[in-house]
Amino acid sequence: MTYTPNPERYSTMEYRRCGKSGIKLPALSLGLWHNFGHVDVLENSRQILQDAFDAGITHFDLANNYGPPAGSAEENFGKILGEDFQGYRDELIISTKAGYTMWEGPYGDWGSKKYLVASLDQSLKRMGLDYIDIFYHHRPDPETPLEETMAALDLIVRQGKALYVGISNYRPAEAAKAFQLLKEMGTPCLIHQPKYSMFERWVEREGLLDLLEQEGVGCIPFSPLAQGLLTNKYLKGIPEGSRAAKAHGHLQQGDVTEDKIDKIRRLNALAQQRNQSLAQMALAWLLKDERVTSVLIGVSSPAQLADSLQSLQNKVFSSEELEQVEAILQ
Confidence bin at 158 (pLDDT 50/70/90): very high
Reported as a pLDDT band with limits 50, 70 and 90, residue 231 is: very high
pLDDT digits (tens, 9 = 90+) for 10-52: 999 999 999 999 999 999 999 999 999 999 999 999 999 999 9
106 assigned to some structural domain = yes
| Chain centre distance of CA 304 | 16
Q: State residue 256's pLDDT score.
A: 81
In a domain, 31, yes or no: yes
pLDDT of amino acid 288: 97
Residue 257 lies in a domain: no
* CA-derived radius of gyration, the chain: 19
Residue 133: in which H helix or E strand, if any?
Answer: strand 132-137
Q: How confident is the model at residue 241 (pLDDT cuts 50, 70, 90)?
A: low
Burial of 317: CB neighbours in 10 Å, binned 0-12, 13-18, 19+: middle
CATH number, domain at 90?
3.20.20.100
Q: Which residues of 142-173 are buried (b: 16+ CB within 10 A; e: fewer)?
A: eebebeebbbbbbbbbeeebbbbbbbbbbebe
Sorted by sequence, the CB contacts under 8 Å of residue 228 that are 6+ apart come out as 234, 242, 243, 244, 251
What is the dihedral sign for C-alpha 97, 98, 99, 102? Answer: positive
> Which residues lie below 8 Å from residue 109, measured CB to CB, with a gap of 6+?
99, 100, 101, 102, 115
**Mean pLDDT within 218-245:** 83
CA distances from 262 to 26, 28, 50, 234 (A): 33, 28, 37, 10
Residue 330 lies in a domain: no
Strand partners, 195: 222
Is residue 240 assigned to a domain? no
Which pLDDT band, with edges at 50, 70 and 90, does 254 fall under?
A: low
Contact predicate 235/200, CB 8 Å: no
Task: Give φ, ψ of 231 to 5 degrees.
Answer: -135, 175
pLDDT in tens, 55-93: 999 999 999 999 999 999 999 999 999 999 999 999 999
Q: How many domains are there within the chain? A: 1
CB 220 within 8 A of CB 29: yes
On whether residue 61 sits in a domain, the answer given is yes
Pair type for strands 15-17 and 24-26: antiparallel
pLDDT of 244 > 70? The answer is no
Region 92-110: what's the mean pLDDT? 98
Question: CA 110 to CA 63: how far, in whole Å?
Answer: 13
Q: Is 190 part of a structural domain of the chain?
A: yes
| Phi–psi pair at 234, nearest 5 degrees | -105, 15
User: Residue 35 class from Cβ within 10 Å (0-12 exposed, 13-18 middle, 19+ buried)?
Assistant: buried
- Calculate the CA dihedral of residues 309, 315, 320, 322 and round it to 10 degrees: 80
* % of the chain surpassing 70 pLDDT: 94
12, 132, 189, 211, 302 from 94: Cα distances, Å: 21, 6, 16, 25, 20
Name residue 166's beta-bridge partners: 136, 191
**Residue-number span of the structural domain to which 82 is assigned:** 9-226+290-316
Judge whether 3 lies within some domain. no
How many helices (DSSP H) and strands (DSSP E) are in the chain?
12, 10
Paired sense of beta strands 59-61 and 93-98, if any: parallel
Which pTM value belongs to this model? 0.95
